[in-house]
Amino acid sequence: MSLAVERQLLIPVEPAAFVPQPLAGTVHALAGQTMGTTWSVRFCGPARCDLASIEAVLQAELGLVVAQMSHWQPDSLLCRFNHAAAGSWHVLPEPFWQVLSTGLALARLSDGAFDPTLGALIDLWGFGPPGPRAAPPSEAEVDAARARSGWQHLQLELATHRAQQPGGLALDFSGIAKGYAVDRLALALARLGYPSHLIEVGGELRGFGIKPDGQPWWVELEAPHGIALAPAMVALHGLSVATSGDYHRGFQHAGRYYAHTLDPKTGAPLLEAPAAVTVLHRECMLADAWATALTVLPPATAIALADQQRLAARVVGRDGTVTQSVAWMEMLA
Confidence of residue 225 (pLDDT cuts 50, 70, 90): confident
Which pLDDT value is given to residue 4?
44
Q: pLDDT tens for residues 189-210? A: 999 999 999 999 999 999 999 9
- 13-to-165, 191, 279, 327, 329 alpha-carbon distances in Å: 42, 26, 15, 9, 10
Structural class in CATH, domain 84-165:
mainly alpha
Q: pLDDT at residue 17 above 80?
A: no
Sign of the alpha-carbon dihedral angle for 15, 17, 22, 24: negative
Q: pLDDT at residue 22 above 70?
A: no
Q: pLDDT at residue 246 above 70?
A: no
What single-letter DSSP state applies at residue 159?
T
Confidence of residue 318 (pLDDT cuts 50, 70, 90): confident
Q: How far apart are CA 157 and CA 155, in angstroms?
A: 7
Which pLDDT value is given to residue 20?
60
Q: What percent of the chain has pLDDT over 70?
A: 95
Domain ranges of the chain: 84-165
Which pLDDT value is given to residue 70?
97
Q: pLDDT at residue 247 above 60?
A: no
Q: pLDDT at residue 89 above 90?
A: yes
- Between strands 256-259 and 250-253, the pairing is antiparallel
Which pLDDT value is given to residue 46?
92
Encode 196-216 in three state secondary structure.
CEEEEECCEEEEECECCCCCE
Q: pLDDT at residue 148 above 90?
A: yes
Q: For residue 37, how far is the Cα from the chain centroid?
A: 13
Q: pLDDT tens for residues 23-82? A: 558 999 999 999 989 999 999 999 999 999 999 999 999 999 999 999 999 999 999 999
Which pLDDT value is given to residue 1?
41
Higher pLDDT, 181 or 1: 181
Which pLDDT value is given to residue 3?
43
Phi, psi of 104 (to 5 degrees): -70, -35
Q: pLDDT tens for residues 166-194? A: 999 999 999 999 999 999 999 999 999 99
- Between strands 162-165 and 88-91, the pairing is antiparallel
Which pLDDT value is given to residue 14?
81
